[in-house]
Amino acid sequence: MIDIAREVARVRYPVMALSALAWSALAVGPGMHVQGLGVYCSATGSGGATIAASPSLLLALNPPSALAVGWALMLVAMMSPLIVPEIHHIRFTSLRCRRTRSIALFVAGYSGIWMIFGVALASATFAYLALAPESYIPTIVAGLVAFVWQASPFKQRCLNRCHDKPPLQVFGLKADLDAFRFGWSRGVWCVGSCGGLMLFSVSLPAGHLMAMAAVAILIFCERLEDPEPPRWKMRGLGKAGRMIAARLRIRWRMLRRKLDLLLEQ
């Protein structure tokens, strides 16, 4: 007989610890924040002048390897708690001797999609820094896109697909392909669900870590919601907010009852 609670704990706690380590690394080191020409100008004593940056200068300021490491850390910090249910699904539907390989293939497919999206984000950031350094217009545009996408029925379609748990083959090459396909398909729907928010947080001129933390909390709360018909609706904390509010009401009633008892004495 399988101890479900114990099996869940075996996945949840290591993943949460890994996420915490990634957040700690981001706190002391850079994330995927493309540095603009303002950093270069202040470093060279140009008085912080705003001029167009050449692609070669931007690449010198932002080595691709450093951006890739920063983006990978962000993925581990923000997205690893989201795939705990998927890892459970693989563990419970795979043979014991294949679990580690199947999970690794799933993670490879999932992270591969997000790394491709990271390349697209970095390319877009390079483009607007080269054309309009230190401009808030890209941030405003990204914010509007994220706001509309957050309320759109297409976002709900992506969220619904993020709840899918497809059957996985058990033996041979088909099992490996299913695990990898499960990873990249889940990555595609996650990008569709969270991509607008990620774009907005990366486009901010400052405060990227705080923005990423806020986005991580929001997308985690969104995953707690049950699938529903796609429609225009502003999405936020949802069920998590209601749960927190209910817990606070219970605490407040208990506190009031204790205060009433003390006053009666």
* Shared domain check, 258 and 174: no
Alpha carbon separation from 194 to 38, 39, 136, 218 (Å, rounded): 29, 29, 22, 10
Phi-psi region of 153 (alpha: psi -120 to 50; beta: other; left: phi over 0): alpha
* Shared domain check, 221 and 133: yes
* Shared domain check, 147 and 244: no
Under 8 Å between Cβ of 81 and 22:
no
* Shared domain check, 225 and 246: no
* Shared domain check, 176 and 157: yes
In tens, the pLDDT along 61-104 reads 778 888 888 899 999 999 999 999 999 999 989 998 999 999 99
* Shared domain check, 245 and 168: no
* Shared domain check, 170 and 256: no
* Shared domain check, 204 and 251: no
* Shared domain check, 151 and 265: no
pTM score of the predicted model: 0.85
CB atoms within 10 A of CB 16: 13
Name the domain count of the chain. 2
* Shared domain check, 245 and 171: no
* Shared domain check, 179 and 264: no
Q: Which residue range forms the structural domain that includes residue 118?
A: 4-234
pLDDT string in tens for the chain (265-residue length): 556 777 778 889 999 999 999 999 988 875 655 554 433 333 333 444 444 556 677 777 778 888 888 899 999 999 999 999 999 999 989 998 999 999 999 999 999 999 999 999 888 877 777 776 667 788 888 899 999 999 999 999 999 999 999 999 999 999 999 999 999 999 999 999 999 898 888 888 778 888 889 999 999 888 888 899 999 988 877 777 777 777 888 888 888 888 878 877 6
